[in-house]
Structure 1
Amino acid sequence: MVRFKNRYITVEIVAPLIPDDKPLELKPKIFHNTVLSKIQQMYGDFGVAAVTNGFLTKYCNEHTRIAIIRSRHGPHRFVTSSLPFITKIGNLDVRLNTLHVGATLKHCFKFIQKHQRAYLDTTWCKLKTDEERRKLEAAVLDYTKTDVAINIENIT
């Protein structure tokens, strides 16, 4: 039996028109389809065929604007090279920054924890009450923001 290696790409979604304190209304399915359409535009049918097998949006947090994409090792280069060229997701103007490419989901979540702790430290000084701080911390450190329906559809 052959083991397939995966790469997990941690992406930051920067939307300059939406303030940082408001959550980004972004569905993982729309994000997933936008990345695939950009790969189609840049690499054609070969790129889409290489990436489609094993391509999932594993995690998407609207508050910190971070997403994790899973791709097979090898074709992950198509994904990482096409991410900077995505300027629109749906009708929202965005810029995507690749933060981390890891071999395991565990290491990506460790990286995200460090990144989100830094985010919490910068935004806590702007909040006035402890209740607002607890709500923000719960939303930021929630790692269950994944759209299971799209992930089940794409499992082969």
Structure 2
Amino acid sequence: GTADAVRQFIWVFEDPRNKNIEHVLILSGDQLYRMDYMDLVQRHMDTRADITVSCVPVDDSRASDFGLMKIDKVGRIVHFSEKPKGSVLDAMKVDTTIPGLSPYEAKNFPYIASMGVYAFRTEILLNLLRWRYPTSNDFGSEIIPSAVNEYNVQAYLFKDYWEDIGT
């Protein structure tokens, strides 16, 4: 999984030459999109987030295919559910005007889905991978759902073209 792949390269983050790197951006390789990562990083810094999850608005027809998140009034992720179904899916609807959709857009896109693109404070990432979740393999299904209860995990809404091309 994605977390295990990053864990294999912890040595890069712990190398003395990289000791001043305060934040790490983790990208997924099975998506097609064009993002200015500085916007994501700026949101991460402005909110003093430990973790920022890049997300996209989705409609009812696609919602159960993705990790969905609920946010509070300031965009902090308070719940994360990987590919929910049934009543759990219905419970994941949010007011998508909070992260910036118009009321019309929000009516059509009542869910916020993870893109699998993350910004982490380096020390938090290392703590999660090495000590808190040393056997977890995936950010979306294992680490992020638990991290929202312990850390400042923020949502960054990406409103441009995005398509998941993974299998």
TM-score (norm 1): 0.26
Select the structure with the greater relative contact order (CA < 8 A; seq sep ≥ 6): 2
TM-score after normalising by structure 2: 0.25
**Bigger proportion of residues as helix:** 1
Is the strand fraction higher in 1 or 2? Answer: 2
